[in-house]
């Protein structure tokens, strides 16, 4: 291999012994990534890290390189939970009210059918129902 690249064996082994520049750059890059994730409280993903590295530090790095470095450092990004409201449990033994409307929300007479909606707001104590559902059928 030394003949192929026309390098003397002593130069090659001194390069291996002293460490190549790529490893030194990777160490500095990894410490920079750790610092950025600590400042962002582990909420930045590879896209946002790439933008910050480019804008603040002038580094143009691929997302895959960032991902490999995060995996190598065993750092994980905290994912934000998706909005999901769990309001009904289908498997219960309670009696179910009869469906008088049968999805026919239009009537000829007034005050026959009342239809409403439920709005949920996330609070510190959990989900808060602002308006209860008011499907009511008047006889």
- The domain segmentation of the chain, as residue ranges, is 9-73
User: Is-contact 85 127, C-beta < 8 A?
Assistant: yes
119 three-class SS: strand
pLDDT of residue 84 exceeding 80: no
pLDDT in tens, 67-77: 999 999 999 98
Cross-strand pairs, 131 = 119
Higher pLDDT, 139 or 80: 80
If one counts every other C-beta atom within 10 angstroms of the C-beta of residue 65, the result is 16
**Shortest CA distance to 28 belongs to which of 67, 69, 63, 62?**
69
Q: Mind listing the pLDDT tens digit for each residue in 6-42?
A: 889 888 888 877 777 777 778 899 999 999 999 999 9
**Look-up of token digits 């602002």:** 130
Per-residue model confidence (pLDDT) at position 88: 65
Angle at 42 between CA 86 and CA 83, to 5 degrees: 15
Q: Is the pLDDT of residue 115 over 80?
A: no
Half-sphere exposure of 8 (CA within 13 A, CB side): 3
Predicted TM-score of the model (pTM): 0.49
């Amino acid at each position: 291999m030394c003949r192929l690249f026309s390098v003397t064996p002593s130069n090659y082994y001194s390069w291996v012994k002293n460490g190549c520049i790529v490893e030194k750059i990777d160490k500095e890059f990894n410490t920079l990534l750790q610092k950025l994730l600590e400042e962002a409280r582990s909420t930045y993903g590879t896209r946002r890290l790439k933008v910050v590295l480019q804008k603040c530090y002038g580094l143009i790095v691929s997302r895959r390189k960032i991902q490999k470095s995060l995996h190598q450092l065993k750092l994980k990004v905290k994912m934000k939970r998706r909005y999901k409201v769990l309001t009904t449990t289908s498997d219960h033994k309670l009696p179910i009210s009869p469906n008088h409307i049968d999805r026919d929300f239009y009537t000829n007479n007034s005050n026959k059918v009342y239809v409403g909606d439920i709005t949920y707001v996330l609070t510190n104590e959990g989900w808060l129902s602002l308006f209860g559902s008011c499907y009511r059928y008047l006889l």
